[in-house]
Structure 1
């Protein structure tokens, strides 16, 4: 059974993206998390961003990038099905790791140089670097 999640490709004006590492894990991934029963992906992502990073975001600021499937990073034998959203942040927005987040980093999407979850390393960052999200990148 797939794990339904909502995830964010959070970008700063300097082109760096936010990745988080959950406590007890070694890989970095997009911020986000599981979608609760009866919750929309946008609502889940807004809730998770607030809990994990301190970011208070209105759903209207999120731009849908599609649905992606990958091996689950922290649950062997499982797959995640992720609704991915783009979020551009202005300069000066502070991230405060909370909930189960052990570490948050702003990284260059073209060469993060850290261990990445399959969804992040095999799909999201390569597509971003290749311009596959081009219509949304300009926003």
Structure 2
């Protein structure tokens, strides 16, 4: 199960790597039957030795297991997890550049799989948040309200043209008023190969067949269980470690945490800053987007602090933000 508290000193620290080929497929390897969680597929890697950095451990393990040389990597997600018989902490990096052709040097089978083919049931439970992180982009676009539906739809199309792949429809109003706009938004996002989450309304998301729902912090506090089944995505707004821990317990797929920096929309809010953001997300076993006072240009900074990426409205929505293309 995900940990509600930081991993203990007895946890086994593991460096794991996400490698992609030119087609965007991800490399997975099969665990030997006699090992813990044997017979399941995993992201390659191994134990971090005392005094060894994550980067050094990952490079060593992938050289030993796959015969490749890691040239560059970046943090993707940190997953603390407690099995009935073992506690682990997975330090996962995305390998952005490597040399050599991966081979199973220890006799382990290898597969290159499209991200859509990564079936959670075939992986150890601790690997499942990694699957979510692998599938999610580095930018989560949140829409403004829709005072003028046609202008809103035009801005949506401009946002999609800039490369948005994950969007939240944050439009207020009664469900009957929002549904026609949501239907049109869903048609446009699907045509662009993007995913659309509906803010605050699981029944509407389910009725439309939307890609998922985004819960407010209040809804998260009131939930006793995940409101929509997979393959729907369920996201939640969080403001502190307790809310992140609750999201993990409920099986929420990803969260947003903020505000990281000062925002014009919430001038009285106390910004977290990157130090608190990094500390709070370090033990959250689910992808977390940084929110508040940020732009798409902050994606790499956010990832270096343990985030999945960045989320927002002002600098993300529409054609006139100064960013020609949204980074993945």
User: Where on the TM-score scale, by shorter chain, does this alignment land: which range?
Assistant: 0.7 to 0.9
Q: CA RMSD in A?
A: 2.5
- Residues 9-24 of structure 1 aligned to structure 2 (within 5 Å): 9-24=18-33
Greater helix share, structure number: 2
Which runs of 5 or more residues in structure 1 are unaligned? none
Equivalence for 1:65: 76
Equivalence for 1:36: 49
Shift of 1:117: 1.7
Equivalence for 1:124: 130
1:106 equivalent to 2:112? Answer: yes
The count of corresponding residues between Structure 1 and Structure 2 is 130
**SS at structure 2 position matched to 1:19:** strand
Q: Highest relative contact order (Cα 8 Å, sep 6+), 1 or 2? A: 1
Structure 1 segments, 4+ long, off by >3 Å, are 133-139
User: Scaled by the length of structure 1, what TM-score is found?
Assistant: 0.79
CA distances 1:12-54 after superposition (whole Å, capped 9, x unpaired): 1211101111222210101101001111111110000001111
Contact 2:69–2:100, Cα closer than 8 Å, also in 1: no
Q: Greater CA deviation, 40-49 or 109-118?
A: 109-118
Distance 1:28 1:89 in 2: 23
1:53 equivalent to 2:60? Answer: no
Contact 1:51–1:98, Cα closer than 8 Å, also in 2: yes
Larger gyration radius, structure 1 or structure 2: 2
Contact 1:28–1:116, Cα closer than 8 Å, also in 2: yes
Contact 2:81–2:87, Cα closer than 8 Å, also in 1: yes
Distance 1:115 1:21 in 2: 10
**SS at structure 1 position matched to 2:42:** coil
**SS at structure 2 position matched to 1:57:** strand
Distance 2:55 2:69 in 1: 13
Distance 1:96 1:34 in 2: 19
Contact 2:77–2:130, Cα closer than 8 Å, also in 1: no
Equivalence for 1:97: 104
Distance 1:89 1:112 in 2: 22
**SS at structure 1 position matched to 2:132:** helix
Contact 2:19–2:96, Cα closer than 8 Å, also in 1: yes
